[in-house]
Amino acid sequence: MSKSLVQRQFGANAANYASSEVHASGASLKRLIELARPRADWQVLDIATGAGHTAAAFAPHVARVVATDVTEEMLAEARLLAERKGLANIETAPAEAEHLPFADASFNLVTCRIAAHHFDNVAAFLAEVRRVLEPAGVFAFVDNLAPDKVTTPELSEAELLAAADAYNAFEKLRDPSHARALTATEWAERVRSAGFVIEHEEVLAKPMLFSAWCRNTSVPAATVPELAARLRKDHGLRAFLKPQPAGGDVLMQLRELVLIARKPRGEDTASRG
């Protein structure tokens, strides 16, 4: 997905993401802090920070957080959030996930939450995370998942492949900057291939109202009926998202992967570049 498309999409909707409940206080945010076990002297990098919710959650526990994003409007929201919360140890910087402007081994912890489904080059993103982490540094990651046997065991392998394609098309219709959501297995394979040791994986349910899901990205009114029709009619989408009536709305059950990995101690970053 082009950088300019991401910038247009999120620049126009920065305020929506600043007020989004699942981004500001979703279960995965609390869990990420519990599992990462941040320390008071740590230097932290938050990639694709959006409105800065993850950076702000970690800031009280560490020495410094650098919050990066490709969209200036999002960085402005992150700065406002830090100011409102009195967090003087957050700084912002424009940066692409696949091309980080930081020195090798310069962070103790790298976080990335609910963003990687927008990245075209996951391998480059993970290589950059490993590069900027110190040896034994921690990678704390959350992203939306596509359906697999863990999330949707009632579907056959062929049905799961179709459901994953349907879900990604559903997301892309809502948000043109969506690249692809992966399965938990695909993420684990990619993280290990990038040279990390995975220490923890879990899948969390993320209940979300259809109206809020559409509102976050300012879905055009003409597109909402098509999204609603797909949710009603597509067998794989229904099996995965389990839509239920909710007071005139529809409650969907999205899934998030929470993953903690570590860069091996003593690794020579350049040797894997």
51-88 per-position pLDDT tens digit: 999 999 999 999 999 999 999 999 999 999 999 999 99
Rounded distance, CA 106 to CA 133, Å? 6
> What mean pLDDT is reported for the chain?
91
For residues 255 and 184, give the distance between their C-alpha atoms in angstroms, rounded to a whole number: 10
The CA angle 5-6-10, to the nearest 5 degrees, is 120
| pLDDT for the residue 96 | 96
d(CA 250, CA 252): 6
Q: CA 55, CA 183: separation in Å to the nearest integer?
A: 25
Q: How far apart are the first and last CA of the chain?
A: 24
**Looking at this protein, which amino acid is placed at residue 97?**
A
Q: How far apart are CA 95 and CA 122, in angstroms?
A: 15
Band of residue 24 on the pLDDT scale cut at 50, 70, 90 = low
pLDDT at 97 over 90: yes
Please give the pLDDT value at position 268. 54
The whole-angstrom separation of Cα 43 and Cα 222 is 45
pLDDT category at 272 given cuts 50, 70, 90 is: very low
Residue 164 vs residue 273, higher pLDDT: 164
96 Cβ contact partners less than 8 Å away, ≥ 6 residues apart:
3, 70
For 117-131, give one letter per residue: b (16+ CB within 10 A) or e: bbbeebebbbbbbbb
pLDDT higher than 90, residue 108: yes
CATH number of the domain at 3-268, out of 3.40.50.150, 1.10.730.10, 3.30.70.580, 3.30.420.10? 3.40.50.150
Mean pLDDT of 208-218: 92
pLDDT above 80: residue 252: yes
Rounded Cα–Cα distance for residues 174 and 223 (Å): 8
Report pTM.
0.89
